[in-house]
A and B are shown apart, each in its own frame.
With several copies, the nearest count.
Chain A
Amino acid sequence: MTQYADGIAAEIVAEHGINDEEYAIILDRLGRAPNMVELGIFSVMWSEHCSYKSSRAHLGKFPTSGEKVIQGPGENAGVIDIGDGQACIFKMESHNHPSYIEPYQGAATGVGGILRDVFTMGARPVALMNALRFGAPDHEKTQHLVGGVVAGIGGYGNCVGVPTVGGETNFHEGYNGNILVNAMAVGLAETDNIFYARGAEPGQPIVYVGSKTGRDGIHGATMASAEFDDESEEKRPTVQVGDPFVEKKLIEACLELMATDAIAAIQDMGAAGLTSSSVEMADKGGIGIKLIMDDVPQREENMSTYEMMLSESQERMLVIMKPGREDVAKAIFEKWELDVAVIGETTDTGRMVLEHKGEIVCDIPVAPLADDAPKYERPYFAPEVRAQINAKDVAQPSHMGEVLLKLMSSPNMASKAWIWRQYDRHVMADTAASSEDPSDAAIVRVHGTNKALAITTDCTPRYCYADPFEGGKQAVAEAWRNLTATGADPIAITDCLNFGNPEREEIMGQFVGCVEGMAQACAALNFPVVSGNVSLYNETNGVAIPPTPAVGGVGLIPDMDKRAGFGGMSEGHILMVVGKTTGAMGASTYLRVVEGREDGGAPMVDLDREKAHGNFVRGQIRAGRISACHDLSDGGLACAAADMALASQTGIKLAHDADSDVPMHGFLFGEDQARYLMAAKKDDAIAIIQDAKAEDIDIQVVGLAGGTAVSVNGAHHLELDRLRAAWEGWMPDLMEPVAEAAE
C-alpha cells in the first residue's frame, strides 16, 4: 500500500505532476510520506522545467568548453572571455506558456527573468534580443498576442534601460495554439568579479532581497511542464505581474553589492522561486539550509509555507552572504528602497529545513531534490527522410520581380519595424547596429572601448521539421554565419529548445535529432553551447509546434572600424556569391509562399564549407575590401539582394547564366547553405576573386549595383519604391486594428 501523509491522496500527488515511480522514490528517500510542503517542493524541483528530466540525457551531447569559455551550462548563464579582463555573460530563456495566457505580462516577466539570470552573475546587462513565433497571421488570436507580447517586451526592457537590439519573428499555423516567446539577455562583467550560485558554506546568513512574495504564479513551473487543453486557460495560476522599476533598482543594488566583498553565493528566484533558488545554492555548495518562513517579506496576509515556497513573484533574489556582512546588504538595498531580510542560514546538515510559526514544516535532504531528480531516456524515432527538391523539379514562374515582391512582403520576410519601433534600441549609447540597421547581427560596443559584441538569434523551424538533424545544424550554422557576415569572430551560443510533448516518440525524435545536429555544428565550428533552456509540451490538444531550437549566438568584433553591414553598396559595385548554388528548394520559403507547399528535405549543411566560406568572408571584411555583406538564408539570393538594395538605396542588376544547370528561379530563390552575398568596388572584387581561387573557395559574380530596381538579365524588373512599400506595409496592415486598441 502506498503511503500518504494526512490530507494527501493519490489524486493530489498526481496533480503535482508526480507519477507513481517518482512518488516511490520520494518515500524511499524520506523514509516516510511527504507532507504538502514537501510534496510541493519535490513537485517543482522534479518538474520538467526545473529538472530537465526528458532532455538531460541528450544535452550532454553539446560541446560546452573551449578556449574562450569561462563558464558553460550549469550556472545562471554562460560566461565567455572577450579579452582585456572582460567577460560577456548571456543566456536565452522561454516564456511561452505565460505569454499565451497573458501576452503582455508573460513576455514582460520573460524579459525580467532573463535579465536576472545575467546580472545575478555580476554582469551589467547591455543588450536584449527576442525570438518570437506566432500562429498564422489570420488566426483569431494572433493580432492580440503579437500586440501584447511586443508591448510587454518593450514595456519591460525600455523601462529597465537595456536596449532591445534585435530578434526574429515567424508566423506559422503550427504555433496557433502555442506561441513562443524566447528572450535573450547579454551582459558585461570583469573576469575577476563573476558571481556563482555555488560557493556557499555552512553558517552563512541567507538574505532575501527585492520584491515581496505574493501568491503569483504558484505552480508556474509545473504549468510550463504540461501541455495545454481547452480548459488550461481556466486552470491557470495567478498571473505574475512584472515591475520593471523594481528590476531596475535591483540591478543597480545588486551590482553595488557585488562591488563589495560580501557575497558567498547568489541566485535569482526564477521558476519555483524560493524553492529552486535555495535548493540550487545548497546543492551546489553541498550544504544544508534552514529558513524561517515568518521572515520572508510577504505581500499578502496569511501566506502558507507552501505558497511562499512555490510563489513565482518577480524581481526577487536570494543571496548567501559572508557572515557579519548582512549590514552591507541592508544599507544598499534600503537606499534603493527594496525589501531586504535575513531569512535563514546555511547549515552542515545537508537538509532543507523550513520553520513557520514555531513549527518545522519541512525537513528533507537536499541531495535527492537535485541528484535523484528523474531522468528519462524517452523512446523516440527519427522522422522519415524526405526527398530533396531541386528547382529543376519546380515550375518556373514567368516574372521573377513579381515573385520577389510576393516573398518580400510575406509574413516571415516583411519588415518587422512595427515591432522594433516599440523597443528602445539606443539606451546605454553603445548600439552600433540594431534591428533598424542593415546588419546580420546586432552590434553593441563594449562601453569605453573600440570593440563590440555581435549578437544574433536564429532558427529555421521548417527545416527542423523536414529534417531535425540538418535543421539543428542549420540553426547553429546560420547564427555563426550571421555573426561572420558582420566581421565578428563567433564565440559561443545559448539556446532555447522549444518542442512539443516529449512523451510522444515522434516529438522526442525531433528533439534528439535537433540536439545532435546542433552539437555537430557547434563542434565543427568551434562554437560551444554555454547556456540554454528547454521548453517542452508546447502542444495543444495533441498538436505540437514545429520543432524550434532557437539559437542565440555571440561574437566579438575586435576593431569596430573593420566590420560590414549590407547597406554600403553603391552604383557600379560588383556583386558576388561565395558558396555553391544548386537551386535547393526543399522546405524553402519559395515553395511555401509561391506554391503553398512545405514539403521536401531541408538543405544540407556542409560544415567544412561553412567554416571555409565564413573564414574567407571575414578575412575579406577585415581586409577592408567589402562594401556590403549579407548571408543568404530565407528566400535565397534574390531576397538577400533585395535587402541590400533597399538598405543601400541602389538597384541591383542580377545576371543569371542561361547555360548553367541551375534554373533561374533556383539561382534566385534556392536556399543552398554556406553562402554569402558580397558587394565590392571593381578592383576589390578582382582581388577577392583571386583570393577565392587561390583558396579554392566557390565564388560567382552574380550582378552589378545600379539603377532603381532589382532586375534579372535586364528583365523581371521590380522597382525599389514598390518593393519598399510592400515590404514595409505588411505588418502595419496586420496590426493596425490592434495598435489602436492596445494600451
Chain B
Amino acid sequence: MKAKIHVYLKPGVLDPQGAAVAGALHNMGYEEVTAARQGKLIELDLTGDDADAAKARVDEMCQKLLSNPVIESYSIDIA
C-alpha cells in the first residue's frame, strides 16, 4: 500500500516560499497567478493491506512526526 500525505501551512501562517513563488511567477509575466502556497508531499510505502488501519497509523505518524501542529495541517490518502 501507499500513503500519500499532503502537509500544508495553516491559514494565517506566513508562507515565505509561496510568496516568493508567486512573486517570481509575476515577474515572469504570469499575471493570472494571484497567490501561491507551498507544502510538502510525503509518500510512504507500507506493508499490510488494511487501508483503514493503515490510515489510523499514518495519522499517528503525522501527529508525532510528519507535521508540526503549530504551523501545519495535513491530509492523508491511502491507495
A interface residues (Cβ-Cβ under 8 A, vs B):
101-102, 104-105, 211, 214-216, 236, 238-241, 243, 245-246, 299-300, 313-314, 337, 737, 740-743
Contact = CB atoms under 8 A, between A and B. Distances in A.
A740 B24 CA distance: 7
A289 B65 CA distance: 45
A239 B13 CA distance: 7
A299 B20 contact: no
Interface in B1-32: 10, 12-17, 20-21, 23-24, 27
B53 interface: no
A422 to B, nearest CB: 15
Contacts of B13: 216, 238-239, 241
B79 interface: no
Interface residues on B, range: 10 to 19
24 contacts: A101-B70, A102-B68, A104-B68, A105-B70, A211-B14, A214-B14, A216-B12, A216-B14, A238-B10, A239-B71, A241-B13, A241-B14, A241-B71, A243-B14, A243-B16, A245-B20, A313-B14, A737-B24, A740-B20, A740-B27, A741-B24, A741-B65, A742-B20, A743-B17
A299 B14 contact: yes
Contact of B12 (A104, A211, A215, A740): A215
Interface residue SS majority, chain A: loop
Given A245-B16, A740-B20, 8 more contacts: A105-B71, A215-B12, A239-B70, A240-B14, A245-B20, A299-B14, A314-B14, A737-B24
Nearest to B70: A102
A245 B23 CA distance: 13
B12 A238 contact: yes
A246 B16 CA distance: 9
B14 A300 contact: no
Contacts of A241: 13-16, 71
Nearest to B20: A740
B21 A741 contact: yes
B71 A337 contact: no
Given A737-B24, A737-B27, A740-B23, A214 B12 contact: yes
A238 to B, nearest CB: 5
A337 B13 CA distance: 21
Contacts of A102: 68, 70-71
Nearest to B65: A741
A307 to B, nearest CB: 11
Given A101-B70, A102-B68, A741 B20 contact: yes
Contacts of B68: 102, 104
A105 B16 CA distance: 13
Contacts of B65: 741
A451 B32 CA distance: 54
B21 to A, nearest CB: 7
Contacts of B27: 737, 740
Contact of A236 (B15, B17, B24, B70): B70
B24 to A, nearest CB: 3
Contacts of A246: 16
Which 3 interchain pairs have the tightest Cβ spacing? A741-B24, A243-B16, A241-B14
Query: In this complex, which of B14, B20, B21, B65 has the most chain A Cβ atoms within 10 angstroms of its Cβ?
Result: B14
Nearest to A243: B16
Contacts of A337: 23
Query: In this complex, which of A215, A236, A239, A737 has the most chain B Cβ atoms within 10 angstroms of its Cβ?
Result: A239
A6 B70 CA distance: 33
A215 B15 CA distance: 13
Nearest to B14: A241
A699 B15 CA distance: 59
A240 B16 CA distance: 12
A155 to B, nearest CB: 11
Contacts of A741: 20-21, 23-24, 65
Contacts of B21: 741
A505 B78 CA distance: 56
A211 B16 CA distance: 10
Contacts of A245: 16, 20
B2 to A, nearest CB: 18
Contacts of B15: 241
Contacts of B14: 211, 214, 216, 240-241, 243, 299, 313-314
B36 to A, nearest CB: 11
B12 A300 contact: yes
Query: In this complex, which of A211, A216, A236, A241 has the most chain B Cβ atoms within 10 angstroms of its Cβ?
Result: A241
B22 to A, nearest CB: 9
B19 to A, nearest CB: 8
B26 to A, nearest CB: 10
Contacts of B16: 241, 243, 245-246
A466 to B, nearest CB: 36
B23 to A, nearest CB: 5
Interface string B57-79: 00000000100101100000000
Nearest to B23: A740
Nearest to B17: A743
Contacts of B71: 102, 105, 239, 241
Nearest to A105: B71
Nearest to A313: B14
A104 B68 CA distance: 10
Nearest to B13: A241
A425 B6 CA distance: 35
A236 B27 CA distance: 30
Contacts of B10: 238
A545 B4 CA distance: 42
A323 B10 CA distance: 41
Nearest to B25: A741
Nearest to A236: B70
A179 to B, nearest CB: 15
Contacts of B17: 743
Nearest to A238: B12
B9 to A, nearest CB: 8
Nearest to B66: A741
A239 B11 CA distance: 11
Contacts of A101: 70
A737 B68 CA distance: 17
A211 B15 CA distance: 12
Contacts of A239: 13, 70-71
A101 B70 CA distance: 8
Nearest to A215: B12
A494 to B, nearest CB: 29
Nearest to A101: B70
A743 B18 CA distance: 10
B28 to A, nearest CB: 9
Nearest to B71: A239
Contacts of A314: 14
A334 to B, nearest CB: 14
A46 B73 CA distance: 34
Interface in B26-44: 27
A742 B70 CA distance: 16
A497 to B, nearest CB: 27
A669 B43 CA distance: 53
A236 to B, nearest CB: 7
A215 B12 CA distance: 6
Nearest to B9: A241
A245 B14 CA distance: 13
A341 B17 CA distance: 23
